[in-house]
Amino acid sequence: MPTNPTLGPILCIVGARPNLMKMAPLLRALAAEPALPPAMLLHTGQHYDHALNGQLFADLALPVPDINLEVGSGSHAVQTAEIMKRFEPVLDQHRPCCVVVVGDVNSTIACGLVAAKKDVPVVHVEAGLRSFDRAMPEEINRVLTDQISDLLYTTERSAHANLAREGIPAERVEFVGNLMIDSLMAALPKAVPVARILDAAGVSTPSVQAGRYGVVTLHRPSNVDRPEDLGAVLAILDRVSAILPIIWPVHPRTRAKIAEFGLESRISAERIVLLPPQGYLEMVGLMKDAAFVLTDSGGIQEETTALGVPCLTLRENTERPITVEQGTNTLVPRDETVVLAAVREIVERGGKRGRAPEYWDGQAAPRIARHLRGWLQGRGRV
Ligand code: UD1
């Protein structure tokens, strides 16, 4: 089929840290798939710190973005509106054959919405996940992005029932597996050992040995934005760290809240190692040798399932139920007794081992590239 000369590149959007692990393998697969137009990478600038952004570009071998909207931080309304304002002229200029958005961050809905209104096909990767908790900003982003997408790629089969319930025709939805696991598998041989990470951070903790520590990550508003919630979390971590030492790479949002609420003194310096946000190869190294991970991240629930490392998710719900049903994930409330019992179970009996879900096999990106080629060709868009 001849290439349509009036249609431009596949415009791929990233904005926040978890987008980068998904886009890196996809860009490589799109470049390797014959007869596809070139991919162009646009960064909204939602995340801009070196630790949340630049370092990961290097770790994931991502190319420098062709375009950076440099929106920075702001309230949800300001950030989303600013991305939309700055994205519209880019879309007019480049006339992409489609826009690819990933995940559930503000950049995902902002760019998707602009494209949909301009009649540019929206392709959503990681579609159909639902926590059924509208208090999560990401849940709003997920539901709305899926409604305006023309093609929806899913990571687990539960997503198909969610999308069907919301009236999205099945022919728009394709099960392809999980790009996050493509990146994880590529990174594993290069993972940085925990001893090297602690050395580099200037931390001398002989008590931390491979297999004998927990990793913590927390950044959800529901855990960190109110002093009483964050205080309760710190009290739990204090008790957990009496069982095993903890390594905690602290998200900038969480670090700011700890300082704002004056909670620094509640963190035991001997048993809890606070680190700045880590690079991707460091994070994979920390997780793979951990006894357990305690988190509220979405991506880490998936990565620990793929690694076979027990994960305690400090949330009331998960949009990734397969990690609980088949993987190593357990939801735990912000309740000291429950969390401590779960940690003891892991330390004494090894915890959940689970298995890798269907299509979490490192091949999601080539699957998407192949399918997207057929889809675009079928619509005369390449
Ligand atoms: C965003 C995503 C969340 C994702 C997370 C991963 C939304 C609604 N949320 O949350 O789904 O799990 O990224 O990190 O899109 N900040 C910095 N440096 C940066 C970026 C942010 O210090 O490079 C600070 C700022 O104070 C900012 C705060 O972190 O106000 C929150 O950043 P934001 O992008 O709004 O949300 P995240 O909490 O990072």
Question: Domains in the chain: how many in total?
Answer: 2
Phi first, then psi: give them for residue 330, nearest 5 degrees.
-135, 130
Shared domain for 130 and 199, answered yes or no, is no
Which residue range is the domain that position 169 belongs to?
A: 10-177+360-378
Length of the chain: 382
206 Cβ partners below 8 Å, 6+ apart?
A: none
Q: Separation of 253 CA from ligand 1 center, angstroms?
A: 7
Average pLDDT on 294-319 reads 98
Ligand 1 pocket, residue 138 CB under 6 Å:
yes
Ligand 1 pocket, residue 46 CB under 6 Å:
yes
Report which ligand 1 atom has the smallest distance to the Cα of 72: 20
Tokens of 113: 């919405």
Domain of residue 246, CATH code: 3.40.50.2000
Q: Separation of 341 CA from ligand 1 center, angstroms?
A: 31
The amino acid occupying position 156 is: E
Q: Separation of 308 CA from ligand 1 center, angstroms?
A: 28
pLDDT at 314 over 90: yes
Shared domain for 15 and 141, answered yes or no, is yes
Q: Separation of 181 CA from ligand 1 center, angstroms?
A: 22
User: If you write DSSP's letter for every residue of 239-300 in order, what string do you get?
Assistant: HHHTTS-EEEEPPHHHHHHHHHTT-GGGS-TTTEEEEPPPPHHHHHHHHHT-SEEEE--HHH
Ligand 1 pocket, residue 130 CB under 6 Å:
no
76 Cβ partners below 8 Å, 6+ apart?
A: 106, 137
Tokens of 182: 């493509």
Cα separation, 277 vs 297, whole angstroms: 13
User: Does a structural domain hold residue 340?
Assistant: yes
Average pLDDT on 332-360 reads 96
Least confident of 12-26, 93-107, 189-203: 189-203
Cα separation, 123 vs 23, whole angstroms: 13
Residue whose CA is closest, atom 29 of ligand 1? Answer: 253
Please give, one letter per residue, the 3-state secondary structure of 195-224: HHHHHHCCCCCCCCCCCCCEEEECCCHHHH
Radius of gyration (C-alpha) of the chain in whole angstroms: 21
Shared domain for 72 and 23, answered yes or no, is yes
Shared domain for 196 and 173, answered yes or no, is no
Alpha helices (H) along 95-226: 106-117, 137-148, 158-165, 179-187, 194-200, 221-224
pLDDT at 1 over 50: no
Cα separation, 357 vs 177, whole angstroms: 9
Shared domain for 229 and 159, answered yes or no, is no
User: Does a structural domain hold residue 4?
Assistant: no
User: Does a structural domain hold residue 56?
Assistant: yes
Tell how many helices (H) and how many strands (E) occur in the chain: 16, 13
> pLDDT confidence of 7, banded at 50, 70, 90?
confident
> pLDDT confidence of 5, banded at 50, 70, 90?
low
Shared domain for 238 and 135, answered yes or no, is no
Ligand 1 pocket, residue 16 CB under 6 Å:
yes
User: Does a structural domain hold residue 182?
Assistant: no
How confident is the model over 57-71, as pLDDT tens digits?
Answer: 999 999 999 999 999
Report which ligand 1 atom has the smallest distance to the Cα of 107: 15
Ligand 1 pocket, residue 18 CB under 6 Å:
yes
- Determine the angle formed by the axes of helices 336-349 and 227-241, rounding to 10 degrees: 30
Shared domain for 228 and 334, answered yes or no, is yes
Shared domain for 120 and 226, answered yes or no, is no
Q: Is the pTM of this model over 0.85?
A: yes
The amino acid occupying position 184 is: L
Shared domain for 231 and 296, answered yes or no, is yes
Grouping H, G, I as helix, E, B as strand and the rest as coil, residue 80 is: helix
Phi first, then psi: give them for residue 122, nearest 5 degrees.
-105, 125
Answer yes or no: 219 catalytic.
yes
Average pLDDT on 38-44 reads 98
User: Does a structural domain hold residue 355?
Assistant: no
Residue whose CA is closest, atom 15 of ligand 1? Answer: 105
Shared domain for 199 and 328, answered yes or no, is yes
Average pLDDT on 200-213 reads 82
For residue 374, the number of C-alpha atoms closer than 13 Å in the C-beta half-sphere is 7
Name the residue of 17, 20, 47 to mutate for ligand 1: max ligand atoms within 8 A of Cβ. 47
Q: Which residue has the tokens 């675009």?
A: 376
Ligand 1 pocket, residue 49 CB under 6 Å:
yes
Residue whose CA is closest, atom 3 of ligand 1? Answer: 105
Q: Separation of 74 CA from ligand 1 center, angstroms?
A: 9
pLDDT at 213 over 50: yes
Average pLDDT on 144-155 reads 98
Report which ligand 1 atom has the smallest distance to the Cα of 18: 6
User: Does a structural domain hold residue 24?
Assistant: yes
Cα separation, 325 vs 331, whole angstroms: 11
Shared domain for 171 and 115, answered yes or no, is yes
> pLDDT confidence of 211, banded at 50, 70, 90?
confident
43 Cβ partners below 8 Å, 6+ apart?
A: 14, 15, 65, 67, 68, 69
Catalytic residue among 47, 219, 251, 371: 219
Across 1-58, where does the E strand assignment appear?
8-14, 39-43
Query: pLDDT exceeding 70 applies to what percent of the chain?
Result: 98
How confident is the model over 284-306, as pLDDT tens digits?
Answer: 999 999 999 999 999 999 999 99
> pLDDT confidence of 268, banded at 50, 70, 90?
confident
Return left, alpha or beta for 267; rule: phi > 0 is left, psi -120 to 50 is alpha, else beta.
Answer: beta
Q: Could you tell me which residue, 207 or 184, shows the higher pLDDT?
A: 184
Q: Separation of 53 CA from ligand 1 center, angstroms?
A: 11
> pLDDT confidence of 2, banded at 50, 70, 90?
very low
Q: What is the pLDDT of residue 382?
A: 84
Shared domain for 241 and 111, answered yes or no, is no
Average pLDDT on 122-137 reads 98
Q: Separation of 254 CA from ligand 1 center, angstroms?
A: 10
Residue 134: Cβ-neighbour burial (10 angstroms; 0-12, 13-18, 19+): exposed
User: Does a structural domain hold residue 184?
Assistant: no
Report which ligand 1 atom has the smallest distance to the Cα of 105: 15
Residue 138: Cβ-neighbour burial (10 angstroms; 0-12, 13-18, 19+): buried
